[in-house]
Amino acid sequence: MQTHEIVRRFTEHFVKAGHTSVPSASLILDDPNLLFVNAGMVQFKPYFLGDVPAPYPRATSIQKCVRTGDIDEVGRTTRHNTFFQMAGNFSFGDYFKAGAIEHAWNLVTGDLASGGFGFDPDRIWVTVYQDDDEAIALWKKIAGLPEERIQRRGGKDNYWDMGVPGPGGPCSEIYYDRGPEYGREGGPEADEDRYLEIWNLVFMQDERGELSPKLGHPPVGTLPSKNIDTGMGVERVAYLLQGVANVYETDLVRPVIAQAEALSGRRYGASPEDDTRFRVIADHARSGVMIIGDGVTPSNEGRGYVLRRLLRRIVRSARLLGVTQPVLRAFAEVVRDEMSPTYPELVTDFERISAVVEAEEEAFLSTLTAGSRIFDSAVAETKKAGGLVLPGDRAFQLHDTYGFPIDLTLEMAAEQGLEVDQDRFTALMQEQRSRAKADAASRKVGHGDASVYRAVLDNHGITEFLGYTDLAAEGTIVGLLVDGQPVPAAPEGSSVEVVLNRTPFYAEAGGQQADTGELRSGSFTIRVDDVQSPVAGLRVHRGVVTNGTATVDSPVVAEIDVARRASISRAHTGTHLVHAGVRGALGTSAAQAGSLNAPGRLRFDFTSPSGAVTPTQLAEVEGEINAVLQQNREVEAYETSMDEAKRLGAMMLFGEKYGDRVRVVDMGDYSRELCGGTHVGRTGEIGLIKVLSEGSIGSGVRRVEALVGLDAFDHMSKEHLLVSQLAEQLKAKPEDLPERINGLVERLRDAERDLEKHRAEAVLASAGTLAEQAEDLDGVSVVAVEAPAGLGGNDLRNLASDVRGRLGSKPGVVALFSTDGAKVAFVVATTAAARDKGLAAGTLIPAFAPAVGGRGGGKPDLAQGGGTDPSGVGAAIQKLREAVRG
């Protein structure tokens, strides 16, 4: 049974059972606890937590997932994958254990003709949470499973949560017995290779805190209702139903390996080492394409770093298979062809995906060259010292700085007859991981603090947003918080959070800054400084009670700062125009990667795998979007279905979660995007857009910053005044200023070079005089003096070398000091004859450097350093003399 058929059967089974089919969410959701979506329930988490009411009682989805904790194990085993598809069915306060077990059993063991998977019921085993007698009874009653094929397991195996604060609960897992040729008897407790888990049924009822019930810690609360969350591994079911040995040999993955075979001339199954490389390529190619498809670009942190690591492991594995030409696009094409029946956006967005992988491969190949030079140097140093083990520090440097995976370093070292200090490398990696975990923990946001907002939501419902049409409105305070806790009243001077039943205030979202303004009643006033939405559907006004005492249930007039709102709306509409202009100039690979819409200014981030936008392109974009302003196009906002929005070609932002009904902001055939922000009525209201800059903010991501409206006009007015002043000062026309200024800069550089030359000549001219001042100390000619002040390290070094040369072949030591404010620079130089007597420059410095509060070092013939106590120069010279005599 082909994978796409498995997906179809799963979806149809649950749709027939009254479930709403929900599309897969993006791999990137606005969840501070997750780099990537790693389970089918993630997009439904607000429903499980009760943050917002579920729009349907039952749902089913095929969710794309990425788990990155075992990247290093991928390929070495046949069980670890980074990308996979999780088929799931969900109940939000509807059916519970009995329904979940019945739905799963009917699909797993149902005959093929009726739409089931046709697994032999006699080869099915299940596990349950250690004290879940109810689940055991249901498995016996519904499925007829005998006692011996139901096993109890502890929280580590049969309690599920996301690894972070959030929903969870006991679970029951379904296993398939692959047969005695795959391992020993005894069920999942005995051998999880023979007994393969295919489906996990989570009876979601708890809310976990920082410590997990998996480890015996009690939940911090109970969810508002009992729910069902299940996850069936599509790839695992596929390789069982397709009769292959593992996921890498299934219909959607094996073609990637076939492409690697074609490029390398080697065959999968011929060598364990090569098989590992083939599997790495197959797994990472799918993960990389799907991650890029959802808007991530390679970088050195977060999601981008994970993606970079995946792509570079593909290139490295191909190299180890003997492939030297670029490979990433070829593998991406196979993934596109195999996965597009389920994910058609891989076809429409392939230009951008291929641009990203090609740019990353090109960058890595150059890095590989640079890293190889560092590796060769480390090998040479190790062999010169007579060692047989490459230091772990150098292996870590190659990994951390140059992106060399450790197995590549191991392979290259083996070719040179060396081993690698893996213990030291592992220790350094562990230190790095610990730092990363500590950083992640410090930034982790749990769900405990949201309980007070959820309580307001449960009691009063969502906040009605009126801000698209109203700038002021009457409302009622339904929630009042001080220091995060609900209070009945708050006196003057209190910092408060206010929830209204209806409001015109826009909460910060989608790059648009929040509204500010006032909440007024007959007896108090609240200044609103910020508006946030900590729980979906709720708008929380944050500010200060400026007079009177604010109380719950009080009616208020909510009025926003109209000038600020108008300025932000101009910026937000301008961002849409910049997006359309950049995309028109660069193609579909230029996708929005972030934005800021603030009063009078905007910032627009976008992917650009091909590199910088040229000044000419940027000027053309600026001219084009200002022409759209002049056309004074209507800016129309309307709600429609997601399918209709797609048909209209509306732009959708990566990582955003959209419902069945979406809001489209339309500027005719120039710009059409899904957006929940506020905008002007016609483009002419913006007035002017002035692009200030364009530059890189990370690998493959660029940023445009611009001013809008009066802010843009003021900026251009100041620039015009500056140009006029320069033109008058230089007696030139404005258009001639660049050439005139370039000429001035060149003349200045020439003058500086001449000055430097004369200064160096003047310094060196004193060498003869200094050499004549040499004193004889026990047969050693010593020049230890304070040179002219303000000499830098290079000048002092050149002077000391020149003086040393004038001492001839006799033993000689030159020590020169130069002060500059509170700093001291010094250089020591020795002749060959002095070094023969044991006088090395580097070993003389510790004798006198403390006198000037400094330190230094260097080679036997020349050493230098610095200090912070100019008053100690005389004492330092005396210490040097004593050291020479000694």
Residues making up the annotated binding site for Zn(2+) are 572, 576, 675, 679
Q: Which class for 533: exposed (0-12), middle (13-18), buried (19 or more C-beta within 10 A)?
A: middle
- CA-CA distance, 43 to 31, in Å (whole number)? 10
DSSP state of 141: I
Structure tokens belonging to residue 124: 């099915």
Structure tokens belonging to residue 818: 């130069």
**Dihedral of alpha carbons 798, 803, 807, 811, sign:** negative
Q: Where are the alpha helices (DSSP H) in 253-386?
A: 254-264, 272-293, 302-320, 328-339, 345-348, 350-384
Collapsing DSSP states into helix, strand and coil, what is residue 245? coil
Residue 319: what residue type? R
How many CB atoms are located within 10 Å of the residue 180 CB?
Answer: 9
Q: Where are the alpha helices (DSSP H) in 598-654?
A: 615-631, 642-648
DSSP state of 143: I
Determine contact, residues 653/592, Cβ cutoff 8 Å. yes
Quote the distance between the C-alpha of residue 667 and its chain's center. Answer: 32
Structure tokens belonging to residue 280: 């790495």
What is the helix (H) or strand (E) element at residue 661, kind and residue range? strand 661-666
DSSP state of 463: P
- CA-CA distance, 481 to 486, in Å (whole number)? 4
- CA-CA distance, 469 to 471, in Å (whole number)? 7
Determine contact, residues 466/677, Cβ cutoff 8 Å. no
- Residues tagged in the binding site annotation: 572, 576, 675, 679
- CA-CA distance, 328 to 288, in Å (whole number)? 10
Residue 595: which of 531, 542, 539, 673 has the closest Cα? 673
Determine contact, residues 130/152, Cβ cutoff 8 Å. yes
What is the SS3 string spanning 760-823? HHHHHHCHHHHHHCCEEECCEEEEEEECCCCCCHHHHHHHHHHHHHHCCCCCEEEEEEEEECCE
Q: Where are the alpha helices (DSSP H) in 216-296?
A: 234-241, 254-264, 272-293
Determine contact, residues 283/317, Cβ cutoff 8 Å. no
- CA-CA distance, 349 to 122, in Å (whole number)? 45
DSSP string, 487-529: -SEE-TT-EEEEEESEE-PPPSBTTBPPP-EEEE-SS-EEEEE
Determine contact, residues 261/322, Cβ cutoff 8 Å. no
Cα within 13 Å of Cα(319), Cβ side: 18
Determine contact, residues 340/368, Cβ cutoff 8 Å. no
Residue 665: what residue type? V
- CA-CA distance, 394 to 354, in Å (whole number)? 33
Collapsing DSSP states into helix, strand and coil, what is residue 173? strand
342, 359, 369, 379, 397 from 366: Cα distances, Å = 36, 11, 5, 20, 17
- CA-CA distance, 355 to 298, in Å (whole number)? 12
Residue listed under structure tokens 């996850």: 231
